[in-house]
Amino acid sequence: MLHAGRGGGEPIGIAMQNRPVRPGLSVPLEEALNELEEGFAVFDAEFRLLAWNRRFLELHDLPAALAFPGADYESFVRCFAERGDYGPGDPAALVRGRMAGARRAERIQIELAKPMDRVIEAVGRPLASGGYLSTCADVTARRNRAVQLEAQVEERTRALRLSEERLALIADEVPAGIAHFDNELRILYANRRFARAYHRSPAEMIGLHATEVLSARTLGESARYFEQARRGALVDFEMRVELPDGRFKDIRTLLRPERPSSGEVIGFYLLSIDVTRRKAAMAALMGAQKMDALGRMASGISHDFNNLLTVILGNLLPLAEEIGEGELNREFLAPAIAAARRGSALTQRLLTLARREQFAPEPTDIPGAVAEICTLLRASMPRKLVIGTESAAEVPPALVDRSQLEMALLNLAMNARDATGGAGRIGIAIEPYDLPPQEADLLYLPAGRYVRLRFSDDGCGMSPEQVERIFEPFFTSKAAGAGSGLGLSMVYGFVKQSNGAIMVDSAPGKGTSFTILLPSVELAALPPTPLALPAPEPAPEEESPPLLLLVEDDRDVRRTLRRKIAALGHPLIEADSADEAKLLIQRIGAIAVVISDIDMPGTLDGFGLARWLAAERPGTGVVLMSGKAGLAGQAAAELPGLPILRKPFTDAALAAALATARAQARAPQQAGRD
């Protein structure tokens, strides 16, 4: 270390003097001091220069002539002031101020801006011996690093603030209440929705204890769940919560423990979702499902029941006419006839009550409807049951009743849930499909544009015997009490009512896939099969009744109808199926009118027979009849202008229908003669 005393001895200048080195100070030492990165200058108690190194002059950009043994410290200060190193101000005043501070032995530290953006840090400090030491160093790199670090800190602080604001915005906008509790059940954070439920702001919630927010009833029921979360468990539960205004809400709550790096639970997070509307919707959905099941059941039994009523009324009415007015008629026959008619009306009321509204098809965006029902399904299905959907581009709208479509999807999902045991995958794929004529004939559908919906699961699958009966009402492969057997029957009914088709592909252990074809709006807008005939003309009174073919699979009903038709003067022959009727029509060319039941066994039903007659024998009149309200309505929609009889029907209704059919039979013949 170089220093100088107050008296005698020659001052020492380092590196800037071309003279012999003072004895005791070696040349290597001088060279070493000149190689230092830091510059220094040492002054005695009178502020005269004793020693310095080359770096001191370089960093301060000082001329070599300014530094010599005995140079006054004030000369250096004056140079700095005049150059503006000390900033703006009168140079003389700046010199006086700096010198006064040095004489008071004050430590001075300043940063000086140099050309080319260099920064020099200069420090002046008194020495214990009474001298004064001035050091300087180039701190440009350090200052740049500090500036960069400060900018990085500022940028990260800004990013963190934006992230916090974004998270706060998300937390306030999500449809759930969010809160953060410590282990003492004091609230550390609450989002807007959670606070609003208790008529407070988020800021007002901070610091409150759970007992100050939750009702005693709610806290009592949820205390055990809170305790589980404080012990580190993941807790999900659902309960009815009492709010401050006396309202009750069904709330699903998720509790997640907070574990810092130490691993010790110090609190928990709470997320609560209002499921009141969803539960009400599910309850309404289940109610609608039960009512629809009742309607399906009523529709299923109405055919047989109305067939029975047809037989009963068909025998009681002629008997009443035969007996005439009298005590026997009033006491026995009239009440029986009235009861039979009330039975028919009761069936219709049951159907009306169960369905409440008519089937209302409308153009429906199938991918959109599926997406909506899947949102509900994902919230209500087990977590391990994954529901995936995919939709092709440009899927055309389909003409369906949207509410019944959603009910059908719900029933399929419930069936898949049971088949997978609540753990697996459900896939729903939607795409446009052009049904070719060959396939359309097999499905009894018109060829054209459809929407194909595939609903698949990876569950247990079904045997061929189960697949064959899967759409039968009340058939179920589940354990006793586990299912009503009506869900898939309802799906089948919806598809058929929508004029579509449904196919099943399943095998044990391979899962199940349902393929549903729904007619596009474009296809539904096409004109129906040309069965509509010209308006009937009244038959001449002198014309003899034509030969009539009665097609009915129920022998008792057929016997009753035969008597009614014969009473109207028609010669007739009978068939117990549409297949047999087709053969008779081909062999007997004199058959002019066909009256047929719709729902019959065999490869051909009443609809198929009517279409075949329209194509092969357009001069034949057709009357369709059914005891099922749905089939009768479908016939009226699909075959406009065709006489439709709903069992049981009166003799007058039968006579009017046959007259219309006879007029329709004459129309093509008259057109041919013209």
- Split at pLDDT 50, 70, 90, the class of 474 is low
- Residue 457 above 60 pLDDT? yes
3-state secondary structure of 207: coil
Cα distances from 404 to residues 16, 392, 408, 493, in angstroms, run 102, 23, 6, 10
Q: Cα–Cα distance between 64 and 56 in angstroms, integer?
A: 10
* CATH 3.30.450.20 given to domain 160-279: yes
Residue 303: its pLDDT value, please?
62
Do 5 and 42 touch, CB atoms closer than 8 A?
no
- Residue range 606-655, pLDDT digits in tens: 888 988 988 888 888 899 988 776 666 677 677 777 888 888 888 888 88
- Residue 455 above 90 pLDDT? yes
Q: Which two tokens stand for residue 337?
A: 């006839």
Beta-sheet pairing, 621-626 with 644-646: parallel
- Please list the alpha-helical segments (H only) found in 574-650: 578-587, 606-616, 629-638
Residue 473: its pLDDT value, please?
61
- Split at pLDDT 50, 70, 90, the class of 515 is very high
Task: Supply the DSSP string of 58-126, one letter for each residue.
Answer: HHHT--GGG--TT-BHHHHHHHHHHHTTT-SS-HHHHHHHHHHHHHTT--EEEEEEETTTEEEEEEEEE
Q: Cα–Cα distance between 322 and 331 in angstroms, integer?
A: 15
Residue 15: its pLDDT value, please?
40
Long-range pairs of 109-115 with CB within 8 A, sequence gap ≥ 24: 110/86, 111/139, 111/143, 112/60, 112/80, 112/85, 113/85, 114/61
What rounded mean pLDDT belongs to the chain? 80
Residue 301: its pLDDT value, please?
65
Superfamily (CATH H level) for 27-143: PAS domain (3.30.450.20)
Residue 537: its pLDDT value, please?
45
- Percent share of the chain, pLDDT over 90: 17
Q: Cα–Cα distance between 567 and 221 in angstroms, integer?
A: 77
- Residue 9 above 60 pLDDT? no
Q: What is the largest CA-CA distance in the chain?
A: 164
* CATH 3.40.50.2300 given to domain 548-671: yes
Q: Cα–Cα distance between 271 and 198 in angstroms, integer?
A: 15
CATH topology of domain 362-523: Heat Shock Protein 90 (3.30.565)
Q: Which two tokens stand for residue 408?
A: 């059908």
Residue 8: its pLDDT value, please?
37
- Split at pLDDT 50, 70, 90, the class of 668 is low
Cα distances from 494 to residues 435, 527, 607, in angstroms, run 20, 22, 18
- Residue range 162-174, pLDDT digits in tens: 877 777 777 777 7
- Split at pLDDT 50, 70, 90, the class of 10 is very low
**285: phi > 0 → left, psi -120 to 50 → alpha, else beta; which?**
alpha
Q: What pTM value is reported for the model?
A: 0.35
Q: Which two tokens stand for residue 609?
A: 């027979």
